[in-house]
């Protein structure tokens, strides 16, 4: 059975567009989640992180001004609290994230997507 591929995608992001192109070059038409309009739930985020082997802190866009404004650098914030912020402010989610079956990868650089497709 072939696992579907999902990309958490921002069309304004060059890395997202490059990752999508890599997927399509493999003959795969992924499910595209425009995550800024359709933010993943905390449960979805938790599942993605498990598949990536990462913590919530690992997928924050630390260069996003909102990250600093909200004080998210605070090491006392646990994953549960951080997942709340990622869900409420999806602009903070690093992109693109590609999920296939039980694996997920952050497409930075976009070539990392090849590891799972």
pLDDT of residue 72: 97
pLDDT tens per residue, range 15-63? 999 999 999 999 999 999 999 999 999 999 999 999 999 999 999 999 9
What are residue 31's DSSP bridge partners? 6
The CATH class given to the 5-115 domain equals alpha beta
**Distance between start and end Cα atoms, the chain:** 14
Residue count (the chain): 117
User: Does the predicted model carry a pTM greater than 0.85?
Assistant: yes
pLDDT of residue 2: 67
Q: Residue 48: which H helix or E strand, with range? A: helix 42-52
- The residues that are catalytic are 13
Radius of gyration of the chain (CA): 14
pLDDT of residue 3: 83
Query: Taking the domains of the chain in order of start, what are their residue ranges?
Result: 5-115
């Amino acid at each position: 059975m072939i696992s579907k591929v999902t990309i958490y995608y921002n069309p304004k992001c060059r890395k997202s567009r490059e990752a999508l192109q890599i997927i399509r070059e493999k003959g795969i038409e992924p499910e595209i989640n425009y995550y800024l309009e359709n933010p993943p739930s905390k449960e979805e985020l938790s599942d993605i992180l498990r598949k990536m082997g990462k913590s919530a802190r690992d997928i924050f866009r630390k260069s996003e001004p909102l990250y600093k404004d909200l004080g998210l650098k605070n090491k006392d914030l646990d994953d549960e609290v951080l997942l709340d912020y990622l869900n409420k402010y999806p602009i903070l989610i690093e992109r693109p994230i590609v999920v296939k079956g039980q694996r997920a990868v952050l497409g930075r650089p976009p070539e990392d997507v090849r590891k799972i497709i």
